[in-house]
Amino acid sequence: MHTISNELKNHFLRLFQIACSDENFDMLELKQLYEFAAHRGIDTQQLQRILIDTVFGLSILETLDERIEYLYDLAVIIQADQNVSDDKYMLLRKFAKKFQFADENIEQICDFLLESSRNELTTKKVIGAMNSKNLYEVFGIKVSMLIASAKGDRV
């Protein structure tokens, strides 16, 4: 069993929170949560401990790619039961704000991530798209590789 960083633990707590936000924790959402865990080398017992043990604080991710990846995972969880409730959407927006995306870009970013999830794009393709000129042309925003917390800039 390997050590799991607090950052990754926080990520799974966010995913769980999204899944529960509509007061209907669906089996498809649970299945997706376990798939994300397996993809990151976390077994069932470790995931259960993460969800039960919440004594650590939520951290801000270091890189923009991590922020996009984790936010996209949240969008995938939201789509798992094909029920994008207002509560889930608002929670996704709150996490985008917590990840220090600029307020004026949050809605477009969340919509893009949800649409990408509906189309089953890979995380790599989503990150590439968000770092490309295409996103700027579509939404009028530029998501650069700047680390917002280090530079004081908001993406």
pLDDT for res 149: 30
Token pair in block for residue 13: 């707590």
Q: What are phi and psi of 71, to 5 degrees?
A: -65, -35
Most confident of the ranges 49-53, 55-59, 73-77, 99-103 = 73-77
Contact by Cβ (8 Å): 121, 132: no
pLDDT for res 20: 78
- How far CA 142 is from CA of 26, 71, 108, in Å, comes to 35, 17, 12
pLDDT for res 75: 95
Inform me whether the pLDDT recorded for 56 exceeds 70: no
Q: For the chain, how long is the longest CA-to-CA vector?
A: 45
CA distance 148 to 129: 19
| Mean predicted lDDT score pLDDT of the chain | 78
CA dihedral sign, ordered 110, 48, 50, 7: negative
pTM over cut 0.85:
no
Q: What is the pLDDT of residues 89-101, one digit of tens each?
A: 988 998 888 888 8
Q: What is the pLDDT of residues 128-151, one digit of tens each?
A: 888 775 555 545 544 443 223 333
pLDDT for res 144: 42
DSSP the chain: -----HHHHHHHHHHHHHHHTTS---HHHHHHHHHHHHHTT--HHHHHHHHH---SPP---SSHHHHHHHHHHHHHHHHHTT---HHHHHHHHHHHHHTT--HHHHHHHHHHHHHHHHTT--HHHHHHHHTSHHHHHHHS----S--HHHHS---
